């Protein structure tokens, strides 16, 4: 069982905005700003799209944005495009001995 809870699936039409939630605890998301989000396509490695809660790596579209409130982090994809379809995972550093936890993953479908 994953330590961070995400919805199994989220869908939207092209051009719309969608938000994926990631709920943890005070020992991880609530306690640190070390929250990151990963995009993964079938058969490929994950790619970081957000780090440090809301920062975008070079080369990542500004349609991706991140935020955090309490023990819940969120990833918003604006202006949804067909190329955004894939799986998305959140991750956080944690004060427990596990150190890093991932979310259960969310499948994004573009209708």
Residues at the interface with another protein (CB under 8 A) = 2, 32-34, 36, 38, 44-48, 51-52, 55, 57, 89, 91, 93, 97-105
From start to end of 33-79, where are the E strands?
A: 35-40, 47-50, 64-69, 72-77
Are the CB atoms for 35 and 103 separated by under 8 Å?
no
Q: Which is nearer to another protein, 64 or 93 (CB)?
A: 93
Q: How far is the CB of 15 from another protein (least distance, A)?
A: 29
Q: Which is nearer to another protein, 98 or 109 (CB)?
A: 98
Q: Is 72 helix (H, G, I), strand (E, B) or coil?
A: strand
Q: Which is nearer to another protein, 47 or 63 (CB)?
A: 47
Q: Which is nearer to another protein, 38 or 64 (CB)?
A: 38
Please tell me the distance from the alpha carbon of residue 76 to that of residue 64, in angstroms, as a whole number. Answer: 6
Q: How far is the CB of 14 from another protein (least distance, A)?
A: 27
Nearest to 24 by CA among 77, 94, 80, 84: 94
Q: How far is the CB of 37 from another protein (least distance, A)?
A: 9
Please tell me the distance from the alpha carbon of residue 38 to that of residue 40, in angstroms, as a whole number. Answer: 6
Q: How far is the CB of 34 from another protein (least distance, A)?
A: 4
């Amino acid at each position: 069982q994953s330590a961070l809870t995400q919805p199994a699936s989220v869908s939207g039409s092209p051009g719309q905005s969608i938000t994926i939630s990631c709920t943890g605890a005070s020992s991880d998301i609530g306690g640190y700003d070390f929250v990151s989000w990963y995009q993964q396509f079938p058969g490929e490695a994950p790619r970081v799209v957000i780090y440090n809660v809301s920062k975008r790596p070079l080369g990542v579209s500004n349609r991706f944005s991140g935020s955090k409130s309490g023990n819940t982090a969120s990833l918003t994809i604006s202006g949804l495009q067909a190329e955004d379809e894939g799986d998305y995972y959140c991750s956080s550093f944690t004060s427990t001995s596990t150190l890093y936890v991932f979310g259960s993953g969310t499948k994004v479908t573009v209708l």
